[in-house]
Amino acid sequence: MTTHSPNTPEPQTTPLAARIRLAHAYFQRIADMHSIDILHVKGYAFSQEIYRKGRYSSDADLLVRPSHVDRFVEILMADGWRIQAHFETGSVFEHAMTLYHASWGLTDIHRFFPGLGRHGDYEKAFDRIWAARKTRMIAHRPCTVPSDLDARLLVVLHRARAASRYSADINYLVSLLSYSDWQRLRARAEELDSSLAYSAAMGGLEQYRDDRDYLLWLSVSQDVPHYIQWIGRLQSATTLHDKLRTLKNIFFYVLASKAASVGIHLIQWTDLENDFVLGTLSLWGWLLVMFLFSSIIGFILNKFNNQKIVLIVTTTSLGGIFALFGIFARSEVVNNFLDRMIQYNIPLSYMMIAICVLLLYVVIRHHESKEVGVGM
């Protein structure tokens, strides 16, 4: 049952813009009560000195002191919020968590802002922005927001991640700021170790070609193949642990997106988060199905004793499955069937677990009967 805080707006009765402003005030109240440092960023938190008039927002964005993030999320979860996307799966930078509340709607909790500080210096970067903070009245409550200079820098850094979507924000700043204003903005980017992302937003990324983060920012600021982003993420990871974790996240992302392309929700991160046991079973169930599929082909070829053949068959089978996913994704018959499965709330991944268990039983019995025959 979802809990409601005092003054929680009723769902579907409060206009979106008003609800988001009220959410900002609600978050500030929570932060003040628990001595948590937050900065309201983007959307309705920024004045017309930052954003053009009439720009709307669909959620509340918060930049939280990195050392306070876990405690803040725990408090929100206890107040009825639930996770829609974890930090590790929210974006390639793994910087934000998306939470949802039935009454308040969506919010993005940022543990750092991409491009602001680098490689573990996010607490230091937050300290510098926090030192220059100011307050702005949102829904009749004083809320902590970045200074105008820092807010403008955040707009520029945000544009580096999606130039086509946020060019209007940059154009507004161009019309608003003088040459000296831009000089101060560039100097502030250098102070906050944000020059690379700033350059990515303003078209000067090539001067950082030898930087370890170059490919990552190239992949988010320009239209390049996906594998460039994967290489960039691995290259940007600073430790072996981070590289292995990044490799794992890339694997899960690719596997999930391939399945989702045909409507099969085999690895929904919300499933893994909300029901770890079933989510894990679903994941391993699908992997087992793929293995058994290749095993069956091996039985047909009657070359199961040859390990090289098994390896080749397994690899080609996995590739074949994903190729079929891509082909049948455009099939109206398949899509209609999958839509019907979802409509009747029959989780396809769990059905496949049952099927693979049955196949496993058949495989084991086959091996047993074969061994008995050899012994005789």
Domain end residue (candidates: 158, 177, 203): 203
Say yes or no: 128 and 223 in one domain. Answer: no
Q: Is residue 87 part of a domain?
A: yes
Say yes or no: 220 and 108 in one domain. Answer: no
What percent of the chain clears pLDDT 90, i.e. is strictly above it? Answer: 41
Say yes or no: 43 and 187 in one domain. Answer: yes
Q: How confident is the model at residue 267 (pLDDT cuts 50, 70, 90)?
A: very low
What's the rounded Cα separation, in Å, for the pair 205 and 218?
8
Q: What is the pLDDT of residues 1-31, one digit of tens each?
A: 334 444 444 555 788 899 999 999 999 999 9
What's the rounded Cα separation, in Å, for the pair 146 and 125?
12
pLDDT at 359: 59
What's the rounded Cα separation, in Å, for the pair 278 and 300?
32
Mean pLDDT of 213-228: 87
Prediction pTM value: 0.68
Say yes or no: 159 and 233 in one domain. Answer: no
Domain range holding 223? 211-238
**Do the Cβ atoms of 160 and 221 come closer than 8 Å?**
yes
pLDDT at 265: 46
Q: How confident is the model at residue 266 (pLDDT cuts 50, 70, 90)?
A: very low
Q: Is residue 98 part of a domain?
A: yes
Q: Is residue 156 part of a domain?
A: yes
Higher per-residue confidence, 12 vs 45? 45
Q: What is the pLDDT of residues 84-140, one digit of tens each?
A: 888 877 788 889 999 999 899 999 999 999 999 887 789 999 999 999 999 999 999
Say yes or no: 42 and 166 in one domain. Answer: yes
Say yes or no: 232 and 355 in one domain. Answer: no
What's the rounded Cα separation, in Å, for the pair 337 and 349?
14
Mean pLDDT of 259-284: 49
Domain total of the chain: 3
What's the rounded Cα separation, in Å, for the pair 101 and 99?
7
Say yes or no: 191 and 72 in one domain. Answer: yes
**Do the Cβ atoms of 87 and 99 come closer than 8 Å?**
no
Give me the DSSP letters along 33-82. HHT--EEEESGGGS-TTTS-TT---SSEEEEE-GGGHHHHHHHHHHTT-E
pLDDT at 331: 47
Would you state the structure tokens that stand for residue 61, as one six-digit string? 């964005």
